[in-house]
Structure 1
């Protein structure tokens, strides 16, 4: 049976069904972290109502309305990382390309068909994940990923981030950590959550217009101080 069959999300699904599908998706993602069907279904299973609220917010602002109208893409096939690397050091484009090179990873790709604005916001959130690492400065190690999830939870209130944080934190706290103690770990999550909550909502930003903008400029505009 295919992923599309086993990980389908019915229209107007109940909360119980959404939680069940989300759990199934997590099970698939543990074995295959890049599985596109599991990733996008997990994202929509818990966040559809939040995305609907975000669509309404976007419609109230010029930049948000432009995003909904044009539906730009940050998928890998749309990005010229070689050209970005030639941009001045410190610019968003240059640091974004460096991020992929240093972490030996590739830009996001999806199979999701954009049937409506909610699907677009869902896709947009997932493809800005790596950009948010660059802007916030949170690492790509386990703790850094959990910090970014906490930041997004504070900034957007996405339910999947709470789900990931709960599962990730339970796993981390069960395993002795040599690099970070439990108290410090929880403090860092709380600080990231508060930082995200104090920061402007980032998802309506058209990052495609800012490849030549210094990261420091965008960080000052979009992110509250890390220790604020």
Structure 2
């Protein structure tokens, strides 16, 4: 660990990194646990799964007690100092596909570019979605950690093999919970899985086995947020998965196989006659 310092701000002291960046800005409010607010935004998310602003609101309303210890352990460590110096902000790195395409074929970088281009996504786009909330920026270490957690979301899709279908999103959320425990991930992941089961009534697809496998995989995988992302992008995809203990998402694939046999499109669960249209799938 590097030596953390403290600066006096009136009657209290603020922990800082070696360069003086505060761990928590003095003006940053302490998050309050608001389950009813989280439930409201979850219901709104069900109505429009593309409105990811509700996802951010859910996370804000369900703070986890382990969050600050995780932030402190990384950002005030030597590894955290290196990451902040070498990768201060990930979107410019992730969106430079010309540079990423120069890495070897079969690399995580190529798979990431293929995924983002095929889905019409960008890291900057995710930033824009989060900024729609109009939240104040504090320039502290919590903010850097939160941005890094947000900006590695699509990279998790690539490494795990989970797509952007409804089930794939629940699986990535629960993989993320395994990495970074959060009541928000649990709520959206498992409630979303239940919603899928209710929408596709009578299907034999093992939805809960799929999301549970994703959660176990996230727990077994070293925290991606703590890894040098440039080094990860340069790795061979198969080798990266083996090194990170990420297995084939068997139960997720099995759900897709069964749904197709049942005449259900996994990427358009609500577009089939088998679906109960009373409740849309969660993102």
Q: Which TM-score band (shorter chain)?
A: 0.7 to 0.9
For the pair shown, the structure with the greater C-alpha radius of gyration is 2
Distance 1:13 1:153, change over 3 A: closer
Give the superposition deviation at 1:224.
3.8
Structure 2 spans left out of the alignment, 5+ residues? 1-27, 251-283
Aligned to 2:122: 106
Aligned to 1:31: 48
Give the superposition deviation at 1:48.
5.7
Distance 1:57 1:13, change over 3 A: closer
Aligned to 2:109: 93
Aligned to 1:42: 58
Distance 1:194 1:130, change over 3 A: same
The answer to whether the Cα contact below 8 Å between 1:43 and 1:160 also exists between their aligned partners in 2 is: yes
Greater share of residues in helix: 1
Please give the secondary structure, in 2, of the residue aligned with 1:11: coil
Distance 2:63 2:243 in 1: 26
Please give the secondary structure, in 1, of the residue aligned with 2:167: helix
CA RMSD in angstroms, aligned pairs only: 3.0
Q: Aligned match of 1:141 in 159, 165, 170?
A: 165
Give the superposition deviation at 1:87.
3.2
Q: Aligned match of 1:217 in 220, 229, 239?
A: 239
Task: Write the deviation string for residues 55-76 of structure 1: whole angstroms up to 9, x where unpaired.
Answer: 1221464323323566622226
Distance 1:196 1:72, change over 3 A: same
Task: Write the deviation string for residues 29-51 of structure 1: whole angstroms up to 9, x where unpaired.
Answer: 44373555x44443333246433
The answer to whether the Cα contact below 8 Å between 1:153 and 1:193 also exists between their aligned partners in 2 is: yes
The answer to whether the Cα contact below 8 Å between 1:92 and 1:213 also exists between their aligned partners in 2 is: yes
Give the superposition deviation at 1:79.
2.2
The answer to whether the Cα contact below 8 Å between 2:75 and 2:141 also exists between their aligned partners in 1 is: no
- 1:121-136 aligned at under 5 Å gives the runs 121-136=145-160
Give the superposition deviation at 1:214.
1.7
Distance 1:61 1:224, change over 3 A: farther
The answer to whether the Cα contact below 8 Å between 2:179 and 2:219 also exists between their aligned partners in 1 is: yes
Task: Write the deviation string for residues 96-154 of structure 1: whole angstroms up to 9, x where unpaired.
Answer: 11111122223221435243222222221111000011111112211111111222222
Distance 1:206 1:40, change over 3 A: farther
Distance 1:47 1:226, change over 3 A: farther
Please give the secondary structure, in 1, of the residue aligned with 2:224: coil
Aligned to 1:4: none
Report the TM-score when normalising by structure 1: 0.77
Residues paired across the two proteins, number = 214
Distance 2:65 2:87 in 1: 19
Aligned to 2:212: 190
Structure 1 spans left out of the alignment, 5+ residues? 1-9
